[in-house]
Amino acid sequence: MDDFADRHPVAYILTVIFSVILVLFVIAAFIMGLRTNFSYWWGQQQATQDKNSAGNFEAAQRQFLQDKNDVDGYVQKITAARQQLADFDKAHPSLASEDGLAGLTDAQQRQSLATNLTGLQQQCVNVVNDYNTNARAYLTADWRDANLPERLDPNSCS
């Protein structure tokens, strides 16, 4: 080999550089192959660590409690909004009036009350769906407080 290096120093240096690059490439490919082949187990291990982390535990419990309290609050607001709409309907049995502007104002007020009720019901259903999704999600399902229900009924928002 010394004869080749002495006779062709540039070719020898290029051969050594190419050989080093080739060895580094093979090592990198081997490591990438190991990571790919074992990614399932490493991924499971990482998911388990994430699931059992203190931050996840605290955030999940807080979110479950917040969602349950939000639903309870929305149910109370829905009851109040439904009562406001019923009271309005009792006070205005007929929206027809001799004065067209008064009738229009009453109709707009009733529409506003009905829209408010519908919005509260939809928001309540959204929070119920979030709660139920988190109750089944891998990272959060185990951290629901034992005093909270396993799932909430969206019909409670009607």
| pLDDT tens-digit series, residues 54-89 | 888 888 899 999 999 999 999 999 999 999 999 988
Predicted pLDDT of residue 69: 95
Predicted pLDDT of residue 2: 63
Determine if the pTM surpasses 0.85. Answer: no
Predicted pLDDT of residue 101: 47
Nearest to 95 by CA among 80, 83, 111, 81: 111
- Contacts with 144 (C-beta within 8 Å, 6 or more apart), sequence order: 60, 61, 64, 134, 135, 150
Predicted pLDDT of residue 1: 54
Enumerate residue ranges in the chain where pLDDT < 70: 1-2, 95-104
